[in-house]
Structure 1
Amino acid sequence: MAWIELPRPATAGAEPAGHVRIGYARASTVRQSLDTQLDGLQAAGVTRVLAEKISTRATTRPELDKAVALARELRSAEVAVTLVVHEHKRPGRGLDLAALAEQLRAAGIALEFLTGELQGSHDPSGVMFTVLAALSGMEREYIRDRTLEGHESARSRGKAIGGAAVTDESMLSMALHLRDQHLSLRDIAARLVITKGKKKSRHPSVATVLRMLRDHDDAAAG
């Protein structure tokens, strides 16, 4: 994928001589927009970005590999390089993120996250960064395991799970249509109506809409 050339922000000064900031952006599905990430990278003064739309579950990310390869090439020419990403979930979580940090550390490449738990500039060689990267993945897996345990326990007692009782194919279809129009989750929820159960005629929660769309995206990616 070719570079995405972003216009330089009006407030951004000239890029320091001998220092290159390479941007990377990723969306999990083809339906998801990269606009928020690209806007954030542009505001941070990044003008060249490698981007891709590929599932979080993918074992390889070609455009990320290209960004790292280019950064290594520039470092071999004695140019200071920083890989800039919107948030740590874009390049990977847990062990994937720790592995990326090791690659960058070995090449002397800095890493910067614009938002999220690991926001800020990092020296990938630092022990603290490696620990935080691993913990970010462990926390996600812990939450997932506890959620699955709760679902299994609820099923064994014949109870409905989360928002599953209030969603259906018709609601999902409408939610996908509204998302394609770039509406926020809050606006999508406000336009949907529950058609059955105790919450009939009410709007689903934002969390329910998020879960419904995420489950759909995960199934599509699978």
Structure 2
Amino acid sequence: MRIGYARVSSAGQKLDVQLGRLADCDRIFHEKASGATAKDRSELQKALDFVRDEDVFVVTKLDRLARSVIDLAGIVQRLQGKNVDLVVLDQGIDTTTLYGRVQFNILAAIGEFERELIKERSMEGREKALARGVKFGAKPKLTKKETIDLIRDFEAPGCSKTEIAEHYGISRSSVYRLYAENREKSV
């Protein structure tokens, strides 16, 4: 029996091409989930549980299966333990042959190397942006003037913190946090 597995990383991506390539499989498992770790993908786990002796597990590309050598090795070991072969269509990998196993290991190592390079470049870009003064995270909900007004309202007798929060469209805990962070600045 041929068991297919397809995965895309985000909701905006489509599975159509992969599903088309896996059309000759007897059963296809598919999901929209990050490939960072194999353990967090429920459909992959179901597919690995489903396969039986002498089945063939089919994916279109190796990176659809996993992104790290450790995850790939674990998946292949699990498949081998069940006497299940792995076929990766786009890379021509077939673990029933010695050449296919060697090719699998080389491509897995390259895939992990590529992922580490992407992480490294992303971190460098983030550090450069921080050095240029780029601020990450959510934009402040209140302007400087609104923050000064909030502090004035906070200190006014008889003004409830819940009313202040509702007036500025923020939570009560944000009222207290903003007051604590900015009270010296407004004096």
Q: TM-score, normalised by structure 1?
A: 0.50
Unaligned runs of at least 5 residues, structure 2: 135-187
Match of 1:105 in 2: 80
CA contact (8 A) 2:62 2:88 kept: yes
Counterpart in the other structure of 1:171 = none
2:64 is the alignment partner of 1:90: yes
| Greater share of residues in helix | 2
> What amino acid sits opposite 2:33 in the alignment?
I
User: Structure 1 unaligned runs (5+)?
Assistant: 1-19, 161-222
Q: How many residues align?
A: 130
In the superposition, relative to structure 1, how do residues 53 and 153 fare at CA in structure 2: closer, same or farther (>3 Å)? Answer: closer
SS at match of 1:33: coil
Deviation of residue 159 (structure 1)? 9.4
Return the alpha-carbon distance in structure 2 between the equivalents of residues 25 and 124 of structure 1.
23
Does the Cα contact within 8 Å between 2:86 and 2:94 map onto a contact in 1? yes
Q: RMSD of the alignment, in Å?
A: 2.6
2:62 alignment partner, SS class: coil
SS in structure 2 of the partner of residue 55 of structure 1:
coil
How far apart in 1 are the matches of 2:50 and 2:118?
Answer: 36
**CA shift for structure 1 position 122:** 2.6
Letter in 2 for 1:23: G
Aligned residue identity for 1:51: H
Instruction: Report the counterpart of residue 108 of structure 2 in structure 1.
Output: 133
Aligned residues with identical type, % of pairs = 35
Deviation at 1:148, TM superposition (A): 2.5
Counterpart amino acid of 1:98?
A: A
Find the counterpart in structure 2 of residue 62 from structure 1: 42
TM-score by length of 2: 0.58
Structure-1 separation of matches of 2:108 and 2:79:
14
Q: Are the structure 2 counterparts of residues 135 and 28 from structure 1 closer, same or farther at C-alpha, using a change threshold of 3 Å?
A: same
- Partner amino acid for 2:86? L
Task: Name the CA shift for 1:148/1:90 in 2 (closer, same or farther; >3 Å).
Answer: same
